[in-house]
Amino acid sequence: MKRFVSLLSLFVILLVFTQDVRGQQALYIPNGPNYVSIGDLDVAGNQITVEAIITKTGNGVNIVSKHTAPGNVNYLMRPGSAEITTTNGYINAVTGFNLVQGQCYHLAFTYNGSSLDYYVNGCLASSTPHTGNLVTNDFATGIGDQSNCQCESWIGYIDEVRIWNVARTQAEIQANMMNLPAPTTQLGLLAYYKFDGNYTNAQGNATWNGTPVGAPQLQANAACANVD
């Protein structure tokens, strides 16, 4: 079963959240292979949330990747899909929503042990039934590419990346799309990257500080600052 967001709902929420990111920096991937590695950050159990703010400037692929192929995906966020592998198999949940190049979006997917849900600007874009515990692997998580082959590069901006070992509710996602308060005390938050001049894990665990690979850039994303 899938439910799709309306353009009006997306536009209304877009007006609200983009006003909060003026002047901030984001990770910019001009082409591949340029990305940020954050190490072997597994999420175990049957709950996960991955969030990011993105703007496409080309035909990019991986936003946040801890995978190599179907059947070995701890988590994978792409612009139109979320992928995981659990003890009950691999699933690719496709939203069917076409992201417009040059526009600013908040994306999130959650898995709670019964469904894999994908949100665009806080609106539920798809919900796909699935069960089982997440299958972990030994790959480094890449923000902006697959770390193993460096062959699925994002092209554009990525910001406000968060990785949780809890399934956040829609209300929680909508409340803090552009800035997460008190990240060091957020229950279930494993990693948080704001890219404001650095690749530091704002959650506080230095184990998961990011390392740039190639030549990613840190710069302001005009698309997230031009909506009035």
Read off the pLDDT of residues 174-221 as tens digits, 9 standing for 90 and up: 999 999 999 999 999 999 999 999 999 999 999 999 999 999 999 999
Question: Quick one: pLDDT at residue 186?
Answer: 98
Which residue is it, tokens 């899938």? 2
* Residue 23 CA: distances (Å) to CA of 55, 75, 87, 222: 15, 30, 43, 9
The dihedral sign for the CA sequence 220, 221, 226, 228: negative
Residue type, position 27, single letter: L
* Residue 46: per-residue pLDDT: 98
pLDDT in tens, 127-164: 999 999 999 999 999 999 999 888 899 999 999 999 99
Length of the chain in terms of residues written: 228
pLDDT digits (tens, 9 = 90+) for 67-81: 998 889 999 999 999
Report the C-alpha gap between 207 and 32 in whole angstroms: 25
- The rounded percent of the chain whose pLDDT value lies above 90 is 81
Query: Averaged over 91-98, what is the pLDDT?
Result: 89
Q: Residue 228 pLDDT more than 50?
A: no
Pairing of strands 217-220, 142-143: unpaired
Asked if the model's pLDDT at residue 224 lies above 80, the reply is yes
Q: What is the pLDDT, as a whole number, of residue 32?
A: 84
| Confidence (pLDDT) at 23 | 55
Q: Considering the chain, what is the average pLDDT of its residues?
A: 90
Residue 12 confidence (pLDDT): 40
Alpha helical stretches, state H, 4-126: 7-18
Encoded amino acid at 112, one letter:
N
pLDDT on residue 226: 59
DSSP 100: P
